[in-house]
Amino acid sequence: MSNALAIATVTTALAQIVRTAVQSVLPGADVLTDRPDSTPLGQPRVRLYLYQVTPNSSLRNHDLPARSADGRLVKRPTAALDLSYLLAFYGNENTLEPQLMLGATVRDIHAKPVLMRQMIEDAIASEPFLATSNLADAVEQIKFTPLTLSLEELSKLWSVFFQAPYALSVAYQGTVVLIESEESPHSPLPVLRRGEEDRGVQLLLGPFPIIDSIHIGAPEELGLHPRITAYPSVQLGTALIIAGRNLVGEQIQIQFNHTRLALIRTILIPANDRSDTELRIMLADDGPAQTDWAAGLYTVTVLVKNGDVERMSNQLPLSFASKLNNIVPANPIMRDANGDVTMTITCGPVVRTSQRAALLIADREIDAEPHPIDTATLQFIIEDAPVVNDALIRLRIDGVDSLPFRRQGVPPPPRLVFDNNQKVTIL
């Protein structure tokens, strides 16, 4: 890193390189570090002019952010810059002095494109105003490369020099110059204690648990291979088989996080229901389960604990469907004088007050009547009810539909069939 004198130091060092080069072919030649103009020089001269300074594209964001959340400086800001120089050559055109100086300059810069420490120290010693420059101590070396300028770019560049006639010229870029801020960062106090009871940090974390898939089915399938077609959603009384990797530890838990409700369920998996690659769990369909769960969308995460270290797996989505327990009135359902039908459905788990419930029948979707409290009983008024015979109905809670089928094991093999208890006839 270097201070604010770095740019002037680079210019002075480059001027010395060019001066040595041109004097090797024209002993009386010299270098001026000013902009090209119309002033006659009278003898061979090179005008070295820094015409552009741009942020270095590779290192411009290297030190971001430099401050902490409370605004304190944690690292000295550093500006990474590229310097663009124009070298214009003046002399007797009849004896091709500009071309001689150009050739010598290109030769020497190409042979030694990097500013070495000794070159920088010589430049600092040559000018009193550079006495406090510390560019020689910088870690990043500065390299000069020729710039390829088209005729149009060269014309635009020379047009900014007022009344300066064009002269034979070449452009070089010096990169990278790092200028460091003078503001000192906050120095943190030494660490006296690492971890609980000063036990240090854990260096070897081991592999993290990974969930690859979730199979949903009936409890009877937990020991079957191959399994029948998986259910699209889980519901109370169904089984989950979670397949993955690194699912081993002293304590394994499955965490279910509802995406819309402030509802998180964490279930401990017994040792005989888990292995390194598979976890098995059955959701109860008892009284407490009716209020512990809610239909809708969940994310599933596996928590693996070894000692005081707990690791969390990736998340997989899981849809939780409501389960239809009873439909009132029984089939056949008669429409009233207006052609309407009032239907009451008992389901589980309970539907929360903030959840949207709808009944799907034929091509209709009917919203449930308002329920000011959590309830397992929903009422639907079907206006101008369609006449249907053994039509399957579904209950949609927060976008997840109930399962209109059941598992049939007799006659074997087990298969899924539509549930007659979820069919209605409206006359």
Q: Locate the DSSP E strands across 307-401.
A: 309-312, 316-320, 323-328, 341-351, 357-361, 364-367, 375-382, 388-397, 400-401
Question: When comparing pLDDT for 194 and 90, which is higher?
Answer: 90
21 and 155 in a single domain? The answer is yes
152 and 237 in a single domain? The answer is no
Asked if the structure places residue 151 within a domain, the reply is yes
Asked if the structure places residue 290 within a domain, the reply is yes
Closest CA to 396 of 381, 378, 408: 378
391 and 295 in a single domain? The answer is no
pLDDT at 204 over 70: no
DSSP 272: G
Of 298, 320, 342, the one marking the end of a domain is 320
Mean pLDDT of the chain: 89
pLDDT at 199 over 90: no
Q: b/e for 367-396, b at 16 or more Cβ within 10 A?
A: ebeebeeebbebbbebeebeebeeebbbbb
Asked if the structure places residue 200 within a domain, the reply is no
Q: How confident is the model at residue 195 (pLDDT cuts 50, 70, 90)?
A: low
42 and 143 in a single domain? The answer is yes
Asked if the structure places residue 382 within a domain, the reply is yes
Asked if the structure places residue 56 within a domain, the reply is yes
Domain interval for residue 42: 6-180
Of 137, 159, 180, the one marking the end of a domain is 180
pLDDT at 57 over 70: yes
138 and 265 in a single domain? The answer is no
Residue-wise pLDDT for 43-55, tens only, equals 899 999 999 999 9
Please report, in angstroms and rounded to a whole number, the separation of the first and last CA atoms in the chain: 88
Mean pLDDT across 119-145:
92
Determine contact, residues 46/88, Cβ cutoff 8 Å. Answer: yes
132 and 246 in a single domain? The answer is no
174 and 242 in a single domain? The answer is no
pLDDT at 110 over 90: yes
291 and 333 in a single domain? The answer is no
Distance between CA atoms of 427 and 422, rounded to whole angstroms?
A: 17
Residue-wise pLDDT for 263-300, tens only, equals 999 999 999 999 999 999 999 999 999 999 999 999 99
Given this model, what pLDDT does residue 143 score?
95
Closest CA to 209 of 242, 240, 247, 241: 247
Closest CA to 277 of 298, 308, 304: 304
30 and 175 in a single domain? The answer is yes
Give the domain CATH number at 372: 2.60.40
57 and 170 in a single domain? The answer is yes
Distance between CA atoms of 384 and 234, rounded to whole angstroms?
A: 33
Number of domains in the chain: 3
Q: How confident is the model at residue 107 (pLDDT cuts 50, 70, 90)?
A: very high
Given this model, what pLDDT does residue 230 score?
82
Element (H, E) at 7: helix 6-23
pLDDT at 203 over 60: no
Asked if the structure places residue 186 within a domain, the reply is no
Give the domain CATH number at 283: 2.60.40.10
Given this model, what pLDDT does residue 61 score?
73
Residue-wise pLDDT for 209-260, tens only, equals 999 999 998 887 766 666 667 889 999 999 999 999 999 999 999 999 999 9
Asked if the structure places residue 67 within a domain, the reply is yes
50 and 26 in a single domain? The answer is yes
Q: What percent of the chain has pLDDT over 90?
A: 68
306 and 247 in a single domain? The answer is yes
Given this model, what pLDDT does residue 360 score?
93
Of 302, 320, 338, the one marking the end of a domain is 320
Given this model, what pLDDT does residue 408 score?
80
Question: When comparing pLDDT for 26 and 71, which is higher?
Answer: 26
pLDDT at 335 over 70: yes
Asked if the structure places residue 118 within a domain, the reply is yes
Given this model, what pLDDT does residue 163 score?
81
Given this model, what pLDDT does residue 201 score?
58
